[in-house]
Structure 1
């Protein structure tokens, strides 16, 4: 994070960076950490916290439903903490509560299980940045040890994520590019546009 000379108290807003497996979220969020000031808070991914910490990742429907309920609750708590701690202007979420719909195996309705509605969850976020998953021949990353999906499965998940967020009024969809830095730059431009002027004027040029 770059130092910021802004002393303003900020009106916090939540922004989601989402996308299917291999879309480049991790790399983009690391670039955000390097390019923006401390008033842009980047949250960790709830699923990585859970699965990296040993939460069972079994293939059965019951286990998958349990995992999505747990991810939803961890995401909610991460966001709640970010909305009360420090002085961020932007809280950048590595996926949001709506993403769980794309992973929900059924039976039963995801929203009913969690005691909320799609409209309520969409309204939590001021902007959605969707990084599209690349095709198998165009940069899909097989190296993440927590990633179990094939390129075809990743593309299907990405399509379900797009459908889950399609009713959000402010969506930026960034297609995959042969040059990942071009894709990442477009995401950084979208984030920078949401940073208040009191912080933005102190930021260095984007990479």
Structure 2
């Protein structure tokens, strides 16, 4: 299948503990050779020796770094895999949920706009955090340390941002993990199908 007309990406996002990273790996395996995945920029930074922020100024500096790394990783994968769909573990707008000041301040600091960032992606698959269904969000990711309540708050903020995308696909927290993955696979198939 030739999907060289695809210039954008699909972002898998949602609150902590929604199963995004595991689902992304399974989806990538399902579409072996047709998808190039982008790892989560924040995990790369925080697992590389940078401690999580304790002050607004440090938090802002970290979010600028994560934003730029995210976009650069996406661009690297696009250049390295021109015939593949790019599937991202989080997207450039995720930092809005962590930003300590206004949305306008975020866009001014990043020298962009909501419209420009939404336009980077063909679709958004939003995995609600398991905390919304009262489930544990403990994971194997050592840099994820949010409480269940913090995960719910981040989930709400992220949903408010990403639901503005015209191809927003919500996967509820009450769904079984297998159903979440199948929904993700169907969404990817639909996006790929628009380019056939």
TM-score (norm 1): 0.86
Give the match for residue 170 of structure 2: 173
Shift of residue 178, structure 1, vs aligned partner: 5.3
What is the RMSD of the two structures over their aligned residues, measured on CA atoms? Answer: 2.0
Counterpart among 8, 11, 14 of residue 5 in structure 2: 11
CA–CA distance in structure 2, aligned partners of residues 9 and 175 of structure 1: 29
Counterpart among 151, 159, 163 of residue 162 in structure 1: 159
Closer/same/farther in 2, CA of residues 198 and 72 from structure 1, 3 Å limit = closer
Counterpart among 135, 138, 144 of residue 139 in structure 1: 135
**Does the alignment pair 1:70 with 2:61?**
no
What are the superposed Cα offsets for residues 62-111 of structure 1, whole Å, 9 maximum, x if unpaired?
A: 11111100000001101111222233331011111111111101267100
Q: Tell me the matched-pair count.
A: 193
Counterpart among 34, 41, 55 of residue 46 in structure 1: 41
What are the superposed Cα offsets for residues 26-50 of structure 1, whole Å, 9 maximum, x if unpaired?
A: 1101101221121211111111111
Q: Are 1:133 and 1:158, in contact at CA under 8 Å, matched by a contact in 2?
A: yes
Gapped regions of structure 2 (runs ≥ 5): none
Q: Are 1:16 and 1:94, in contact at CA under 8 Å, matched by a contact in 2?
A: yes
Closer/same/farther in 2, CA of residues 197 and 158 from structure 1, 3 Å limit = closer
* Alignment of structure 1 residues 23-172 onto 2, 5 Å: 23-106=18-101, 109-135=105-131, 138-143=134-139, 144-172=141-169
* Alignment of structure 1 residues 188-203 onto 2, 5 Å: 188-196=185-193
CA–CA distance in structure 2, aligned partners of residues 92 and 193 of structure 1: 14
SS in 2 for 1:193: helix
TM-score (norm 2): 0.90
Q: Any runs of at least 4 consecutive aligned residues in structure 1 with deviations exceeding 4 A, and if so which?
A: 196-199
